[in-house]
Structure 1
Amino acid sequence: MNKVPITVITGMIGAGKTKISNRLIHGIKGSNCKVQVLVYYPDTITVVEDISTKRQYRKLPHQEQPAKLITTQEQLISEMISYSKEKQPIDELIIELAAGIPPQFFVEELFQSLEKDMLDKTFYIQSIVSVIDAQHFWFDYTSNHYVIYTNDNDRMEHTFAEVMISQIEFCSHIVINKCNFISKESLDETVSFIKKLQPKAQIIFSADGQVASQTFHSVNDVDLHQIKSNIGWKLELKNNSSTLNLVEKFGINSFIYESHSPIQLEKLEEWFRTFPSEILRSAGYLRTYSEAHGLELLYFSQVGASVIIETVDEHCTDTTARSKVVFFGFDLKDVEVTQQLNQCLMENNNINQTVV
Structure 2
Amino acid sequence: MNHILHNRQGLKIAVIVNDMSEVNIDSELVQKGGFSRTEEKLVEMQNGCICCTLRGDLMKEVEKLVDAGDIDYIVIESSGISEPIPVAQTFTYVDQELGIDLTAKCIVDTMVTVVDGNRFWEDFSSGESLLDRQQGTDENDTREVVDLLIDQIEFANVILLNKVDLLDLEDAKELEMTLKRLNPDAQIIQTQNSCVDLHRILDTRLFDFEKASQGAGWMKELNEEHIPETEEYGISSFVYRRKRPLHPERFMKWLQNWPVDIVRAKGFFWLASRNDMAGLLSQAGTSIMIQGAGEWVAAYSEEEKQRTLAEEPELLKKWDASYGDRMNELVFIGIDMKQAEIEDTLDACLLTDEEMTMEWSALADPLPRFTVSS
**TM-score band w.r.t. shorter chain:** 0.7 to 0.9
The answer for the alignment partner of 1:25 in structure 2 is 5
User: Is 1:68 aligned to residue 35 of structure 2?
Assistant: no
Structure 2 alignment gaps of length 5 or more: 23-27, 37-41, 49-53, 298-311, 319-324, 362-374
The answer for the alignment partner of 1:9 in structure 2 is none
Alignment of 1:220-235 (within 5 A): 220=205, 222-235=207-220
Structure 1 contact 37–94 (Cα < 8 Å) conserved = yes
For residues 197 and 360 of structure 2, the distance between their equivalents in structure 1, rounded to whole angstroms, comes to: 63
Give the counterpart letter for 2:209 in structure 1.
L
TM-score (norm 1): 0.78
Cα distance change on mapping 1:351 and 1:60 into 2, 3 Å: farther
Cα distance change on mapping 1:268 and 1:245 into 2, 3 Å: farther
User: Is 1:342 aligned to residue 347 of structure 2?
Assistant: yes
For residues 15 and 64 of structure 2, the distance between their equivalents in structure 1, rounded to whole angstroms, comes to: 14
Counterpart of 1:137 (choices 120, 139, 153) is: 120
User: Is 1:102 aligned to residue 83 of structure 2?
Assistant: yes
The answer for the alignment partner of 1:6 in structure 2 is none
RMSD (Å) for aligned C-alpha atoms: 3.1
Cα distance change on mapping 1:302 and 1:40 into 2, 3 Å: same
Alignment of 1:1-356 (within 5 A): 21-28=1-8, 30-31=9-10, 33-42=11-20, 62-65=32-35, 67-70=42-45, 71=48, 72-86=54-68, 89-112=70-93, 117-148=100-131, 155-218=140-203, 220=205, 222-239=207-224, 246-290=229-273, 293-312=274-293, 318=315, 320-347=325-352, 350=355, 352-354=357-359
For residues 120 and 209 of structure 2, the distance between their equivalents in structure 1, rounded to whole angstroms, comes to: 26
Instruction: Return the structure number with greater strand share.
Output: 1
Structure 2 contact 277–295 (Cα < 8 Å) conserved = no
Q: Greater shift after overlay, 327-336 or 67-76?
A: 67-76
For residues 120 and 135 of structure 1, the distance between their equivalents in structure 2, rounded to whole angstroms, comes to: 38
Give the counterpart letter for 2:35 in structure 1.
Q
- Cα displacement (A) at 1:331: 1.4
Cα distance change on mapping 1:138 and 1:65 into 2, 3 Å: same
For residues 308 and 328 of structure 1, the distance between their equivalents in structure 2, rounded to whole angstroms, comes to: 16
Cα distance change on mapping 1:99 and 1:355 into 2, 3 Å: closer
For residues 37-57 of structure 1, give each alpha carbon's deviation from its aligned partner in whole angstroms, at most 9, with x where no partner exists.
Answer: 11123579xxxxxxxxxxxxx
The answer for the alignment partner of 2:369 in structure 1 is none
- Cα displacement (A) at 1:232: 0.3
Structure index of larger Rg: 2
Cα distance change on mapping 1:258 and 1:206 into 2, 3 Å: same
Cα distance change on mapping 1:201 and 1:82 into 2, 3 Å: same
Structure 2 contact 20–137 (Cα < 8 Å) conserved = no
For residues 282-341 of structure 1, give each alpha carbon's deviation from its aligned partner in whole angstroms, at most 9, with x where no partner exists.
Answer: 111112233xx5333222111122112222269998473421111111211111111111
Structure 1 contact 261–347 (Cα < 8 Å) conserved = no
Other structure's SS at 1:123 match? coil
For residues 245 and 266 of structure 1, the distance between their equivalents in structure 2, rounded to whole angstroms, comes to: 35
Structure 2 contact 222–331 (Cα < 8 Å) conserved = yes
Cα distance change on mapping 1:250 and 1:288 into 2, 3 Å: same
Give the counterpart letter for 1:79 in structure 2.
E
- Cα displacement (A) at 1:185: 0.4
Cα distance change on mapping 1:339 and 1:221 into 2, 3 Å: closer
Structure 1 contact 299–310 (Cα < 8 Å) conserved = yes
TM-score (norm 2): 0.75
Other structure's SS at 1:346 match? coil
Q: How many residues align?
A: 314
Q: Which runs of 4+ in 1 moved over 4 A?
A: 113-116, 149-152, 313-319
For residues 109 and 119 of structure 1, the distance between their equivalents in structure 2, rounded to whole angstroms, comes to: 8
- Cα displacement (A) at 1:349: 5.2
Higher relative contact order (CA 8 A, sep 6+): 1
Using the aligned pairs only, state the percent identity.
24
Give the counterpart letter for 1:354 in structure 2.
E
Cα distance change on mapping 1:267 and 1:112 into 2, 3 Å: farther
- Cα displacement (A) at 1:159: 2.7
Give the counterpart letter for 1:332 in structure 2.
M
For residues 204 and 233 of structure 2, the distance between their equivalents in structure 1, rounded to whole angstroms, comes to: 37
For residues 75 and 338 of structure 1, the distance between their equivalents in structure 2, rounded to whole angstroms, comes to: 49
